[in-house]
Amino acid sequence: MPQSIGERDIAGVLHPFTNPADHERQGPLVIASGRGVWVYDEAGKGYIEGASGLWCASLGFGEERLIAAAQRQMKTLPFMHLFGSRSTSPAIELAERLLELAPVPMSKAFFANSGSEAADTAVKMVWFYNNALGRPQKKKIIAREDGFHGSTVAAASLTGIRRNHRKFDLPIANVVHTARPHFYRDGLPGESEEAFSARLAEILERQIIDEGADTVAAFIAEPVMGAGGVLTPPAGYFEKIQKVLRKHDLLFIADEVICGFGRTGNLWGCLTFGLEPDIIMAAKQLSAAYAPISAVMVNEKVYAALARGGDEIGTFAHGFTYSGHPVSAAVALECLKIYEERGIVDRVRAIAPRLQDGLRRRFADHPLVGEIRGVGLMAAVELVADKETRRRFDPSLGAGAYCYRRAIEHGSILRALGDSIAFSPPMIISEEEIDRLLDGFAKALDDTHRWIVEKAQSNHW
């Protein structure tokens, strides 16, 4: 019988996005408590949660106002669904607030429980929309290589990270992928960012024409590609892409699941990069991860078609038992109040240079560092085998994973996205805590360099 909590975990838990065999060998990092930007394992060791969990713990851990909001709602009305015209005050108030805060005019908010559910909802809305308009052939959705939109069947199909498809029989039909906007990796010699963006827009338009514009319904994009490596758009990218979308009558879905609510230095990534979407997906920082909730906002054009189609068949037959769960909605409302009252977005703008400039100042010349990229309180450092040629490490080496594990040993929890190490600390982090986070990464980076040199010298790599 397993004895320790780690042994019990290995015996009973199948972990998401984890190598099961590695997990059996190494065991879990069991987090027992958290306060502020710090979390503590079962032995009491502290770590700065420099990834906000999964981009989501924006207010850190132990925020009493969010705990109190959940308790109040639990005592008042712990559950009610929204099916068949039923509603609750928290859901209504949250919809009103989101529509007020939207970066472009939106008409209605639909609630779900995760970014993945939001993505599946957006897909079904796009299909329903075109059926309602009498265009049953206009169903294909174009996503981007290395984009991430979730892990349910439709969301994982939109995701352009190929390992997420392998052995799952994905992607499903009607999903097409176009080129990612990674100038460092994919720009041509002598090509400017503007020219690179124009080339990607031309690639997208050619795909639409080749597929048949009358069969292509929508384009989905994150303002900053998160799990794909924190890829910020090159100059002119979204301006040029949106011209193509308008020309061929494609709906634009903005996946704000990671970027929304301050992460980029504006309330929305759409505002940071000039996106004008028809549909907006939000989650994660909507409740600071204290309760599961997501939202899909649609503009009036989309809503009118959904309403028309729903009236024809007698219902808009989509939803979840916990859509707009009153406890989650109450927590999200309180979270939005905290963002406003504490000036969290302004705080991100003020403190972001400590992260962005600190990474570049301290690590740009490190022999393992290729590109440092990011905006606001999200960044990534891409590790390379050769700085001059930008040659990648052999994936079997696991350089990024090794660096990630060493950072944990030094008290900094980050995220390994292949060989890119991602940073997305809680938005309440102090400058001193950012420095400590970077100190842990510096030690991990040096450890990784020594490990790679030793492997090369022993002919193990």
DSSP 370: E
Q: Which of these, 405, 412, 290, 404, lies nearest to 39 by C-alpha position? A: 412
Q: How far apart are CA 311 and CA 316, in angstroms?
A: 8
pLDDT at 461: 53
Q: How far apart are CA 53 and CA 124, in angstroms?
A: 29
Q: How far apart are CA 40 and CA 57, in angstroms?
A: 15
Q: How far apart are CA 222 and CA 225, in angstroms?
A: 5
Strands (E) located in 326-368: none
pLDDT at 456: 84
Strand arrangement of the beta sheet that strand 140-144 belongs to: 108-112, 294-298, 279-282, 251-255, 216-221, 140-144, 175-178
pLDDT at 26: 93
| Count of beta carbons in the 10 Å neighbourhood of residue 246 | 11
* Amino acid identity for residue 109 in this structure: A
Under DSSP, is residue 3 helix (H, G, I), strand (E, B) or coil? coil
Q: Report how far Cα 365 is from the mean position of its chain's Cα atoms.
A: 29
Q: Which of these, 174, 300, 197, 192, lies nearest to 244 by C-alpha position? A: 197
- Structure tokens given for 95: 């919809």
Instruction: Domain ranges for the chain, please list them.
Output: 5-62+344-457, 65-341
Q: 280, 106 in Cβ contact below 8 A? A: yes
DSSP 343: T
pTM of the predicted structure, to 2 decimals: 0.97
* pLDDT tens string 323-365: 999 999 999 999 999 999 999 999 999 999 999 999 999 999 9
Sequence-distant contacts of 130-136: CB under 8 A, at least 24 apart: 130/217, 131/309, 132/305, 132/306, 132/308, 132/309, 132/312, 133/305, 135/214
Segments of the chain with pLDDT less than 50: none
pLDDT at 2: 65
CATH of 65-341, one of 3.50.50.60, 3.40.640.10, 3.40.50.300, 3.90.79.10: 3.40.640.10
Establish whether the linkage from the previous residue to 171 is cis, with ω within 30° of 0.
Answer: yes
Q: How far is CA 240 from CA 234, 237, 316, in A?
A: 11, 5, 34
Q: How far is CA 430 from CA 353, 433, 435, 437, 441, in A?
A: 12, 5, 9, 10, 17
Sequence-ordered list of residues with C-beta below 8 angstroms from that of 364, at least 6 positions apart, any chain: 372
pLDDT at 249: 98
Under DSSP, is residue 285 helix (H, G, I), strand (E, B) or coil? helix
Could you tell me the CATH superfamily of domain 5-62+344-457?
Aspartate Aminotransferase, domain 1 (3.90.1150.10)
pLDDT at 80: 98
